Structure 1
Amino acid sequence: MSEADLSYRVSWQGPLLQPLQVWLRAGNLQAIRRIQKASDSSDPLTARVDEVQGHLQEIAALLPVLEAELQMRNATLERVRADAVRYERLAALDRDKAETVEKLVDETVKRGVREAVKTLGEGFDEATRMISFGIDQSSKAGRKQQIQYFLLGLAGSVPLGVAGNFLFEWLTK
């Protein structure tokens, strides 16, 4: 509804209803502000969830890098296999050289596989470390908060209990 429609409605309804409408609009604004304030309050659980989501987003950013590395390793493995086929053809020409070529091919393939496994392991180890660090930090903060709530409850309930007992004794005399 536009401002012109609101002013038209106010003008034809008379001067007695205008303060009521202004009061209702102010009440609506206050309700909206209360809702915004409630949604902006810092809930520790929400903060921890946001922190974990941030870590998961960082991990999601690392996954394409790991996939690219894996594709590069697969391409290298395919080249090594193609070389192996070529070397096997050469080995058929000379049996004495065949054993040497076979050892070379096996060593090359093993080295490629070791490097691929090492690279992928390092990437996943870092991602796992980041997740566990975020969870450890949020659980430590939660534990500290629970201890603080317990101590505040204890500090508040004992004096209130003693004061209540004295008040009861004084009233029953």
Structure 2
Amino acid sequence: MSNDSDASSGHPASPLSKYGRRLLQGLYKAATLSAIALTVATTYTLIDRIPAPAINPLSPVWILTGALLSMPYVALGVLDRLRRGRDRRRLDAAADEPGKRLNDRIRAVSDAFTEAATLMNELQRDLKAQQAARETLLTEAQRQQKLLEVDKEQAEKIREILIGETKATIRAERRQQLLFFALGLVASVPIGVLVNWIS
């Protein structure tokens, strides 16, 4: 790629933008030189109006004035240095081989697919584990249901047995009570006759 390409899009820069940049750089340099000339002229005019014995270049006023006048140039120099560094980084990025950038992108896509495949395998293992747990729970639920059915049958049989035993017990008690009543009746007649005979 040439140095006149736009690093962000990878397309060659148009001639207008190339000439536009050169024009802006020229205007920037002209403005800087004009500001320096103006500062020198202003300083010379101020110095020319002050009487000779009052001029002391080491006085705080002159040092402060010099510092204030030089601050914009220092700021412009720093901004220019930052802009040039940014432009250099763009040019270096644009100068990289397209094959290297393509290989980097292919490697990134391949890494993403590898990670996706790993995640898919983990998800499949989790899904199989959940399905196995589900099958185990279903089997256990079916076994419990069968036990409940067996228990219901056994409970019904036990209830029938208990009801049958209860009915049999009630019948036996009734028979026993009738037997005692009959024995009492049979025994009371001879005892009554005996009591009447004795009295």
TM over 0.5, shorter chain: no
Higher fraction of helix: 1
TM-score by length of 1: 0.39
